[in-house]
Structure 1
Amino acid sequence: MASESRTVKATCHCGEAVHEITLSSNAFPLPAWFCTCDSCRHMTGGMYLSCVFLPSSYKPSPALLGKLTAFEFSKTITQYFCKRCGAQMLVHCLGKFNAPETAEHWDALTGSLVQFDGVVDVKGYEYIVNTRDGGFTDFLHSTNDRALKRWPLDFDEGSELPLYWRPPKLAEPPAAIDRLPAHCKCKGVSFYITRPSQQPIPTDKSWPETLIPNYDQAQDLEDAAQESWWLRAKKGKFLAGLCACDTCRLVSGMDITAWAFVPAIDMTLDSEGKVPFTTDFGTLKSYNSGPGVTRHFCSRCGATVFYDHVDRNRMQLLDVAVGLLAAPEGARAESWLEWRTERVSFPEDAVGRARSLIEGLESGLRDFRERGYGRLGPAKEVSDALLV
């Protein structure tokens, strides 16, 4: 008697790449890992890459692949993203680079799945050492009340790293820089962020939802809009936050998106600051995800790059995907950014689909904040052995 099957739906934002994944019911929940390596962050624009491992029997249809752009991530891995909206959708693996005998298989990006709970079983993180500061792993510690595993490099290799891991002290600390490089994986999109200039720019009421801990108690936005809300730490850093809205998820393929709020006057297209910033450069491609909303992604590797809203045009303020930043101190770029940890934007979008994920994230952010990490000061160094 044939085993029962189960079908899950996956889609990008524009709907061009909608498809169904039908597998044996015994395959669920599908194992997933969050990869925090430098390459995955720059390839997605996110703080991690999250995908479910599909059985070797799964093969996407040629028609589906024809709607996607293929990007050769490495000699053994090819990424596929939607040509129209840029959503990361599938990964084709020929086997591990250090274990070519492993089976060829396909992975699906978790953010593309219509349902998360009951479908995805997040095992943990890999390549944490690449973050240099813990990155997203300090924000999300567990799902379904189960601690996520924490591997220094490839999953299931070596000894796990402790929570709030930091590398042992380096002989020389990372050098302070005045221009922060940002680029996608293929480097078709490359630009620089300068220290906050504090030059006056027009303000308006278009506050990001990240800033409002409680709508019922929010101060009057008419007055608040007069402040440079995108500046923090005595106007020495830019504000950054996490978003769980469906639109960000479906245009990126990532369940949680990390944004930094940066005015155009504090960005340039060259390291010397001689080429003024514009959103028309390199391999950038635009996609209108809603009324007045333009999102930009790399047309070659699919990395999410910018969010722009017509109401902010007067301010020339952009949301910049944090995964693109190449700060020497680490993935969270804490010498440049102050993270808003009191709230995740639009958690209500995630509750019906991925309650385990959003509740784990909110719990992790609370612990991160209460321990005095991030915006309240540097984290303590954990000098455990890391490479084995």
Structure 2
Amino acid sequence: MASRTLVAKCHCEAVHFSITVPVSALPLGVHLCHCSVCRTTHGTYTCFHAPLPDGVRPVFAAPSSLEGSTTGYRHAKAACTRYFCKTCGCHIGDDDYEEGKAIENPGWRIASSLFGHGLHDDGSPDQAFMLRSHALTNSAPSGFHEWLPTLGSRTLPKWNPKPGDAFYPPATDIPYEPNDPEYDADGREVLRAECHCGGVSFTIARPADCTGEMASRSPKLPDRWLACLDTCDDCRLVDGAHVIGWGEVPLASLVPKVTADLELGTLKRYQSSKGAMRAFCSVCGATVFFRNLETSASNVDVATGLLRAPEGVTAHRWLHWRHGRIVYPESGQRYHADFTNSLITGFRVWAAKTYNEEQVSEAS
């Protein structure tokens, strides 16, 4: 049977593997999962997972290995083990797990964002992956799926489990939390950010409750911090996803205190380039922080997939997602053109509608 071998690497290249797939199984379908577990173990709004055909598993290139190069994370109700690079935090995918039972041939879902440029483009001669659907969108109100309703000329359907599904509990059984705003000891509203395992947890204050540098405060909506989407290659290869959201805030707005060296709880640091310091949870793998070492010592970017805003996962009453603000779009277009171009369009439409409607509502 004709087959094709595809190669993947994380940013630091400590994780280096390949998959060999029957040509008849290509392109592999990719689902974008929006569940709270994927959001808070990645720090992104969604993962990009491609289920592998039966019997196909990643083959690691020495000295890389699953046991030596990755950390496996399994929470109390997990149906799989999630793996991420020990060095840079990049998620590579997950395999089946059932407590108390040995699974002889576990099924794998692999992060398609780690493979080469152009492999996702629909209809291209090299196409190996096809984004097919959003999944578990009911657990992500006001979510990323609203920014990407279509991919090129295709509508991306939304899949949610049916009531009574024993393997995939209905999203209504996993309510979005918290339902109510959170306040500090002085009665001021704060926004919680927390990874899945809870090893990294902190709150963010409103601009009005902060002193010092305010460059990250929105000039149009001064009660909110500025935010953007990022499709650069470095972020893709340290997160294992096509795109990540960043909210820029002063370090002074965070409680408990986070140092300029990004020390807090279970954080592990990774310097992805000369001027870029990143931090991820060493237990569950969630991307948490990015800091530009060359421009500001007082601000930090927070991965927005970790935010627990009552209004929904985009936290649009805390963040100002400026219209069309996607940084490094050329990287995203080079990697997956249909995705990036469709996201730019959908994001602009959502932002214009959301903030215009909100301002009208507040004015009335």
TM range (shorter): 0.7 to 0.9
Gapped runs of 5+ residues in structure 1? 158-172, 203-226, 270-275, 381-388
CA distance in 2 between counterparts of 1:229 and 1:71 reads 34
Q: Is the 8 A contact 2:210 2:253 kept in 1?
A: no
Q: Is the 8 A contact 1:33 1:52 kept in 2?
A: yes
Cα distance, 1:85–1:377 mapped onto 2, change above 3 Å = same
**TM-score under structure 2 normalisation?**
0.82
Cα distance, 1:369–1:197 mapped onto 2, change above 3 Å = closer
CA distance in 1 between counterparts of 2:268 and 2:307 reads 19
Letter of the 2:245 counterpart:
A
Deviation at 1:377, TM superposition (A): 2.9
User: Secondary structure, in 3 states, of the residue corresponding to 2:237?
Assistant: helix
Question: Does 2:255 align with 1:244?
Answer: no
Q: Indicate the residue corresponding to 1:116 in structure 2.
A: 120
Cα distance, 1:369–1:179 mapped onto 2, change above 3 Å = closer
Q: Indicate the residue corresponding to 1:277 in structure 2.
A: 258
Deviation at 1:379, TM superposition (A): 11
Deviations 1:254-309 (A, max 9, x none): 1011000111111112xxxxxx3332121100000001210000011110000011
* Within-5 A mapping of 1:15-30: 15-30=13-28
Of 84-93 and 229-238, deviating more is: 229-238
Deviation at 1:341, TM superposition (A): 2.8
Q: Indicate the residue corresponding to 2:305 in structure 1.
A: 323
Gapped runs of 5+ residues in structure 2? 122-126, 166-178, 184-188
Alignment partner of 1:351 out of 326, 333, 341: 333
Q: Is the 8 A contact 2:19 2:57 kept in 1?
A: no
Question: Does 2:79 align with 1:81?
Answer: no
Q: Indicate the residue corresponding to 1:220 in structure 2.
A: none
Cα distance, 1:72–1:125 mapped onto 2, change above 3 Å = same
Alignment partner of 2:108 out of 106, 109, 122: 106
Q: Indicate the residue corresponding to 2:124 in structure 1.
A: none
Q: Indicate the residue corresponding to 1:216 in structure 2.
A: none
Deviation at 1:229, TM superposition (A): 4.4
Total equivalences in the alignment: 324
CA distance in 1 between counterparts of 2:326 and 2:31 reads 21
Deviation at 1:52, TM superposition (A): 0.7
CA distance in 2 between counterparts of 1:88 and 1:21 reads 16
Question: Does 2:309 align with 1:305?
Answer: no
Deviation at 1:18, TM superposition (A): 1.6
CA RMSD of aligned residues (A): 2.6
Q: Is the 8 A contact 1:232 1:338 kept in 2?
A: no
Q: Indicate the residue corresponding to 2:194 in structure 1.
A: 183
User: Secondary structure, in 3 states, of the residue corresponding to 2:245?
Assistant: strand
Cα distance, 1:198–1:176 mapped onto 2, change above 3 Å = closer
Letter of the 2:342 counterpart:
G
* Within-5 A mapping of 1:40-79: 40-61=38-59, 64-65=65-66, 66-73=68-75, 74-79=77-82
Of 61-70 and 180-189, deviating more is: 61-70
CA distance in 1 between counterparts of 2:223 and 2:22 reads 54
Q: Indicate the residue corresponding to 2:169 in structure 1.
A: none
CA distance in 2 between counterparts of 1:359 and 1:84 reads 31
Letter of the 1:256 counterpart:
V
User: Secondary structure, in 3 states, of the residue corresponding to 2:327?
Assistant: coil
Cα distance, 1:288–1:77 mapped onto 2, change above 3 Å = same
Q: Is the 8 A contact 1:174 1:329 kept in 2?
A: no
Cα distance, 1:111–1:230 mapped onto 2, change above 3 Å = farther
Q: Indicate the residue corresponding to 1:192 in structure 2.
A: 203
**TM-score under structure 1 normalisation?**
0.77
Deviations 1:111-156 (A, max 9, x none): 21223322221111121111122x101111111311001124479x
User: Secondary structure, in 3 states, of the residue corresponding to 1:129?
Assistant: helix
Deviation at 1:57, TM superposition (A): 1.1
Question: Does 2:139 align with 1:148?
Answer: no
Question: Does 2:129 align with 1:129?
Answer: no
Q: Indicate the residue corresponding to 2:244 in structure 1.
A: 257
Q: Is the 8 A contact 1:33 1:123 kept in 2?
A: yes
Alignment partner of 1:376 out of 347, 356, 359: 356
